[in-house]
Amino acid sequence: MKLIDEFRDPALAQQLVESIRGVATRRWTIMEVCGGQTHGLLRHGIDEELRDVVELLHGPGCPVCVTPTTVIDHAIELALRPGVLLTTFGDMLRVPGKHRSLMQAQAEGANIQMVYSPLDAVKLAQELPSTQVVFFAVGFETTAPATAIAVSQAEALDLPNFSVLTAHVRVEPAMEAIAQAEDCRVNGFLAAGHVCTITGYEQYHKLAQRYRMPIVVTGFEPIDLLVGIYRCLQLLEQGSFDVVNAYTRSVRPAGNLAAQEILQQVFVVADQPWRGLGEVPLGGLILASKFRGFDAVDRFALERTTVAVEDECQSGAVMSGRIRPTQCPHFGSRCTPQSPLGAPMVSTEGACSAYYRYSNLVPLNTSPAS
């Protein structure tokens, strides 16, 4: 607890706010690409406190939110098939597909079980040999290694009744898609600390130089976020397009090599449709040919998702920083956490849920979340 308290120290937070004000000669626009950071910024009132010197845009940092509705519909379709058990993490259950969520489908008889790890799904496949157990795998490079381990273990066990419906995505290509958009207003990025713990950050140098945007690897606590913003503004004011690691207690330049190795064994990089961004070149991970037998899309003859269809939810505009959640006409009226129209309102990492939950907090509130 001592460690956490140090990163929520109100006096240090105030000093950092003053340093940020001292370094900024104009108002800059920075995008964080991590839903945990978005919630941290809103929960602690950092966005409001710094509003006059920095505009904080919230990027596609919520993997649940960028999953196309067609993939959720595939998951529902599988869960309704006789002899199939669909397993997934709890935060996917309330995310709306085109017509309903997994939880609503469950009430109609769909066979769905929440798991805490992909390995729980492998265990279920061992225990239920006459049931096809499908793990619905969503997430960035942080969760993909666990999926890779599960697939690798299912192969070692020669399990014929285990498969994965994958929607794993890669963060760096999405940052590039945002940076190269004609209407991009981003001056610098706060890179996601947890993703960089796996991937490292050496690959960001090319991106920073090509688009002339500094990138600061940043954590989630209030002091982490303020240091990340401060370092990013420092670089912007110096005219430097460098990459800086402000989350050194977790991130190494080359990342977690063991996690990268299992990812490379099980997955290959592929173009991937992202909700809100369209098809992102090299933006996803699909199973390598050796493991294709575990791909639920092939096993159950589903149509592979190639486009992310937009609907009345304006998550695309929110996640690319074109509008704030509160500018969506449905925010707080037709769309609430109790009755969400889109994933950003229901996911624990979604920007809309952060605005709904924290918009009444006072600026620079460093007390723990309720």
Min CB(356)–ligand SF4 separation in Å: 8
For ligand SF4, the closer of residues 243 and 318 by Cβ is 318
Are 276 and 308 contacting, i.e. CB atoms less than 8 angstroms apart? yes
Does position 219 interact with ligand SF4 (CB under 6 A)? The reply is no
For ligand SF4, the closer of residues 105 and 319 by Cβ is 319
DSSP annotation string for 262-317:
HHHHHEEEEEEEETTTEEEEEEEEEE-GGGGGGBHHHHTTPPPP------S--HHH
Q: What are phi and psi of 360, to 5 degrees?
A: -95, 5
Which position among 110, 352, 354, 364 is part of the footprint of ligand SF4 (CB under 6 A)? 352
Count of residues touching ligand SF4 (by CB under 6 A): 15
Q: What is the CA radius of gyration of the chain?
A: 21
Compute the distance between CA of residue 300 and CA of residue 66 in angstroms, rounded to an integer.
23
Partners of 138 in beta bridges: 167
Does position 68 interact with ligand SF4 (CB under 6 A)? The reply is no
The letter for the amino acid at 15 is: Q
Compute the distance between CA of residue 235 and CA of residue 217 in angstroms, rounded to an integer.
13
For ligand SF4, the closer of residues 289 and 333 by Cβ is 333
Min CB(68)–ligand SF4 separation in Å: 14
Q: Which of 10, 1, 2 is nearest to 222 (CA)?
A: 10
For ligand SF4, the closer of residues 67 and 314 by Cβ is 314
Does position 87 interact with ligand SF4 (CB under 6 A)? The reply is no
Does position 358 interact with ligand SF4 (CB under 6 A)? The reply is no
What value, to the nearest 5°, has the Cα angle with vertex 97 and ends 96 and 100?
70
For ligand SF4, the closer of residues 126 and 336 by Cβ is 336
Interstrand relation of 215-218 and 243-245 (parallel, antiparallel or unpaired):
parallel
Does position 62 interact with ligand SF4 (CB under 6 A)? The reply is no
Compute the distance between CA of residue 322 and CA of residue 306 in angstroms, rounded to an integer.
24
For ligand SF4, the closer of residues 198 and 341 by Cβ is 341
Does position 354 interact with ligand SF4 (CB under 6 A)? The reply is no
Query: Which 263-322 residues touch ligand SF4, going by CB under 6 A?
Result: 313-315, 318
For ligand SF4, the closer of residues 39 and 231 by Cβ is 39
| Exposed/middle/buried for residue 9 (C-beta within 10 Å: 0-12, 13-18, 19+) | middle
| Span interacting with ligand SF4, options 101-109, 210-218, 244-252, 330-338, rule CB under 6 A | 330-338
Min CB(96)–ligand SF4 separation in Å: 9
Helices within the chain (DSSP H only): 2-6, 10-23, 35-43, 46-49, 69-80, 102-107, 118-127, 144-156, 171-179, 193-199, 204-211, 222-238, 257-266, 296-299, 315-319, 343-346, 351-358
Does position 201 interact with ligand SF4 (CB under 6 A)? The reply is no
DSSP state of 91: G
| Span interacting with ligand SF4, options 12-20, 79-87, 140-148, 344-352, rule CB under 6 A | 344-352
For ligand SF4, the closer of residues 247 and 356 by Cβ is 356
| Span interacting with ligand SF4, options 145-153, 259-267, 269-277, 327-335, rule CB under 6 A | 327-335
| Span interacting with ligand SF4, options 2-10, 75-83, 263-271, 334-342, rule CB under 6 A | 334-342
What value, to the nearest 5°, has the Cα angle with vertex 108 and ends 107 and 114?
50
Does position 125 interact with ligand SF4 (CB under 6 A)? The reply is no
Q: Which positions lie near ligand SF4, rule CB under 6 A?
A: 313-315, 318, 325, 328, 330-331, 335, 340-342, 344-345, 352
